[in-house]
């Protein structure tokens, strides 16, 4: 019995040593991640330079302040919008990670860049592309040749081929001091993120944009732990115990799985809050593309003949596809090719009884006075108005 108790205690001690080894290796891996992304200072004062959306303004395009956010209602006629953030002048060498908080769903096809100026080189404007990540447009400018010295005149540049509206919650330039870098790494691991109707796996796809993804740090910790076991075994002229290596991999897997479970439970709570107790239409309206469904619902509920072929004409492939999806199983037709390859239908291609939706479409217009669809070259086709909500939205039936 005493031998069995001693054996049990020895096994318990071995598992305890492996657990301690994993914790130590994980801490070393995290410290290495901080060292790779931090600057020379241990602490930054302040840790972040923040500008709320309410302090921003549109330099190009139209926008307004909505509570704590700034809403760009529409870019300029050339498809570009510029939103300026009133930052104090700061040292770019000490604040290398920047983020623009996007409060609304970022439409497909939108390109985001950041521009700034430097006191050391007056009269010049510098630019860097931004990457959209879980509601943030971010960039790590530590290696950018022109992100140094006294930075000011920071602004967000938006480019879009279609009318676009986005809400900006704020701008932040984060210190690259060791303390702030560690806080950013751990904060990104456990930040709740924003659900927006996405699956949990798509939320994790943004982790490649983290300062140091948890998977990388955990893998580094497991690798360091295995390396320690191999070095110790070599010095002692022993073989590495396979169970010890397996235990390290199991510990790493458990850490990642616990975080995965945390994301799943957060997603579950967000989905319940967003959709529970609502009708199908209310659920569609509460989803990320609720505004698209609202357009499709107008067409669905309009006083029109059924069945009929519905022709969708919009400048965006994604918009055509989503409206069609909401209108199925009706007979919906649209050009599924990319916007640059989509063709404009000719008058003779439209059949009597066809219902044509013109949404933000400039190649064909609805002339209410003459009751015709008009092409830029003067061709026309007679039609009857079903719905009209300004020149940007018309639903007509070919007669």
pLDDT at 3 over 50: no
Cα of first residue to Cα of last residue in the chain, in angstroms, is 97
Using alpha carbons, list the distances in angstroms from residue 143 to 89, 92, 356: 20, 11, 51
Question: Please, are residues 114 and 97 in contact by the beta-carbon 8 Å criterion?
Answer: no
Looking up tokens 């109707």 gives 197
Using DSSP, state whether 138 is helix, strand or coil.
Answer: strand
Q: What is the mean pLDDT of residues 75-103?
A: 91
Q: State residue 81's pLDDT score.
A: 94
Q: What is the mean pLDDT of residues 91-119?
A: 88
pLDDT at 344 over 60: yes
pLDDT in tens, 175-223: 999 999 999 999 889 887 665 555 555 556 677 778 899 999 999 999 9
233: part of which helix (H) or strand (E)? Answer: helix 214-236
Q: State residue 338's pLDDT score.
A: 72
pLDDT in tens, 111-143: 899 999 999 999 899 999 998 766 688 899 988
pLDDT in tens, 4-61: 555 566 677 788 899 999 999 999 999 999 999 998 888 867 888 999 999 999 999 9
Per cent of the chain over pLDDT 90 is 64
pLDDT in tens, 355-390: 999 998 989 999 999 999 999 999 999 999 999 998
Of the pLDDT bands very low, low, confident and very high (cuts 50, 70, 90), residue 264 is confident
User: What's the whole-number average pLDDT of the chain?
Assistant: 89
CB atoms within 10 A of CB 28: 15
Cis omega (within 30 of 0) on the bond before 243? no
Of the pLDDT bands very low, low, confident and very high (cuts 50, 70, 90), residue 79 is confident
Using DSSP, state whether 238 is helix, strand or coil.
Answer: coil
Question: Please, are residues 288 and 318 in contact by the beta-carbon 8 Å criterion?
Answer: no
DSSP line for 48-115: EEEEEGGGEEEEESEEEEETTEEEEEE--TTSEEEEEE-PPPEETTT--EEEEEE-SPPPTT-EEEEE
Q: What is the mean pLDDT of residues 392-399?
A: 94
Q: State residue 182's pLDDT score.
A: 94
Q: What is the mean pLDDT of residues 306-317?
A: 91
Strand ranges of the sheet holding 309-313, from the earlier edge strand across to the other edge? 331-333, 309-313, 355-359, 393-398, 380-388, 372-374, 365-367
If 0-12 CB within 10 Å is exposed, 13-18 middle and 19+ buried, where does residue 375 land?
middle
Q: State residue 132's pLDDT score.
A: 77
pLDDT at 151 over 90: yes
């Amino acid at each position: 019995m005493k031998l069995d108790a001693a054996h049990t205690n020895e096994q318990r001690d071995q598992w305890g040593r492996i657990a301690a080894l994993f914790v130590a290796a994980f801490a070393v891996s995290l410290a290495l991640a901080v060292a790779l992304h931090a600057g020379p200072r241990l602490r930054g004062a302040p840790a972040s330079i923040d500008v709320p959306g309410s302090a921003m303004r549109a330099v190009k395009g139209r926008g307004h302040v909505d509570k704590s956010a700034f809403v760009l209602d529409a870019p300029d006629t050339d498809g570009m919008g510029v939103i300026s953030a009133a930052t104090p002048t700061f040292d770019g060498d000490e604040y290398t990670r920047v983020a623009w908080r996007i409060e609304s769903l970022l439409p497909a096809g939108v390109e985001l860049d950041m521009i700034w100026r430097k006191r050391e080189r007056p009269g010049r404007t510098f630019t860097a592309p931004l990457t959209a990540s879980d509601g943030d447009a971010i960039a790590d400018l530590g290696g950018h040749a022109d992100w140094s010295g006294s930075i000011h005149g920071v602004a967000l540049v938006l480019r879009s081929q279609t009318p676009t509206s986005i809400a900006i919650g704020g701008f932040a330039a984060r210190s690259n001091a060791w303390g702030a870098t560690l806080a950013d790494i751990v904060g990104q691991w456990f930040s709740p993120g924003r659900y927006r109707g996405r699956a949990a796996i798509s939320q994790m796809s943004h982790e490649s944009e983290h300062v140091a993804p948890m998977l990388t740090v955990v893998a580094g910790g497991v690798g360091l732990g295995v390396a320690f076991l191999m070095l110790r075994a070599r010095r002692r002229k022993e073989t590495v115990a396979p169970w010890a290596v397996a235990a390290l991999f199991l510990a790493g897997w458990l850490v990642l799985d616990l975080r995965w479970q945390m994301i799943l439970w957060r997603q579950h709570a967000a989905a319940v809050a967003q959709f529970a107790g609502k009708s199908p239409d209310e659920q569609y309206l509460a989803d990320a593309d609720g505004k698209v469904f609202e357009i499709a619902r107008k067409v669905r509920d309009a006083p029109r003949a059924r069945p009929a072929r519905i022709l969708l004409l919009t400048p965006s492939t994604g918009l055509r596809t989503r409206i069609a999806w909401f209108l199925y199983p009706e007979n919906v037709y649209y050009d599924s090719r990319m916007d640059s390859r989509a063709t404009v239908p000719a008058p003779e291609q439209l059949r009597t009884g066809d219902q044509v939706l013109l949404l933000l479409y400039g190649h064909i217009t609805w002339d209410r006075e003459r009751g015709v669809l008009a092409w830029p070259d003067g061709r026309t086709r007679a039609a009857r108005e079903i719905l009209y909500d300004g020149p940007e939205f018309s639903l007509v039936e070919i007669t």
